[in-house]
Amino acid sequence: MQPITEIIPFLRQARQTVIVMHQKPDADAMGSSLGLFHILSGLGHSVSVISPTNWADWLGWMPGAGSVSDYELQKEKADALIAAAEWIFCLDFNTLQRTRRMSETLARAPGKRILIDHHQQPQTEMFHYGISDVSKSSASEMVFDFIISAGLGSRINRDVAECLYAGVMTDTGSFRFSSASASVHRMVAVLKDTGLDHSKVHENLFDNFLENRLRFMGHVLTNRMEIFYEYNTALISIPWKDLVKYQIRTGDTEGLVNFPLTIRGIKFAALIIDRDEEIKCSFRSKGGFDVNLFARNYFEGGGHRNAAGGRSSETLEQTTQRFRASLKDNALQLQ
């Protein structure tokens, strides 16, 4: 993988360009992709943004979100766009596998794949150009840095600012995580100078749910949460029937894994959800416990040191039993 700086001299040459993100995109994946979309479109590129799957309704307010294609619903169209693309920007994922059913199409594509990502252990051999920096807070911060390094800072308008702010703000936990470095705050100052209304972005992201989600969260925290004080750990396990009963949609469980970390002494939190087709896992930690390593060792996953995900092909009961057993293996690190 060659440095992403190698493509900067060619940015002003209009090209067929595709931007892709990881499956079930969050605010950072969508925000970084749309922020880059507006910049490249302004330079004359023909740009298409493709998500491997559907996304949460509360991301639909982002400028440009209406033009994003859902690969699972528009596969033939998306495959044609990817096949015709000269540049394929791959944002907020480290391996092609994280694009789900789109991965084979991306691997076969004749265009140049360009990585912008902050997750550990990137699949560098699959990308022609790119940057991978685990010290960065978000893909949105990295897109901002790319824009500035390319001398395109004057092209950051309010639409770009709203998208990038949404990504960096959510991935830093509203700027409370250690990844919210001084450079992040300097970035936000630049975005604010465009006229960005940050309160509007917060409302769109956090005050935009239906009543059933709040009742679902109350039910889950009361009935589906276990605390293992001997391991400073909390587990939330959610059966498929709960998702059906409360009519839970894509994105409605976002952030739920963080709630147990507000309990005094809890250093490690896990969310295990039966999604019917497979079991999905989210892991969060405070301090030195490496959930990226934990997810890789036990749940076919990975991510960051303090935030990672995984999966299981077992039943919910079998998966939670395996999780409980894993706590004994990691007892010393969790105490």
pLDDT in tens, 18-64: 999 999 999 999 999 999 999 999 999 999 999 999 999 999 999 99
CATH of domain 211-334: 3.10.310.30
Helices (H) and strands (E) in the chain, counts: 12, 13
pLDDT digit string (tens) for 106-126? 999 999 999 999 998 899 999
Q: Are 113 and 127 in contact (CB under 8 A)?
A: yes
pLDDT at 8: 97
Would you say residue 261 has pLDDT above 90?
yes
Task: Please tell me the distance from the alpha carbon of residue 153 to that of residue 176, in angstroms, as a whole number.
Answer: 26
Q: What is the pTM of this model?
A: 0.91
pLDDT digit string (tens) for 188-232? 999 999 999 999 999 999 998 999 999 999 999 999 999 999 999
Does this chain's domain 2-206 share its CATH topology with 211-334? no
Q: How confident is the model at residue 68 (pLDDT cuts 50, 70, 90)?
A: very high
CATH of domain 2-206: 3.90.1640.10
Would you say residue 140 has pLDDT above 90?
yes
Domain map of the chain by residue range? 2-206, 211-334
The H-assigned helical ranges of 64-133 are 75-84, 103-108
Across 321-328, average pLDDT: 96
Best CA proximity match to 173, nearest among 55, 258, 267 = 258
pLDDT at 250: 87
Rounded to the nearest angstrom, the gap between the alpha carbon of residue 29 and the centroid of all alpha carbons in its chain is 5
Q: Are 164 and 38 in contact (CB under 8 A)?
A: no
pLDDT at 277: 82
Task: Please tell me the distance from the alpha carbon of residue 126 to that of residue 142, in angstroms, as a whole number.
Answer: 19
Task: Please tell me the distance from the alpha carbon of residue 7 to that of residue 219, in angstroms, as a whole number.
Answer: 50
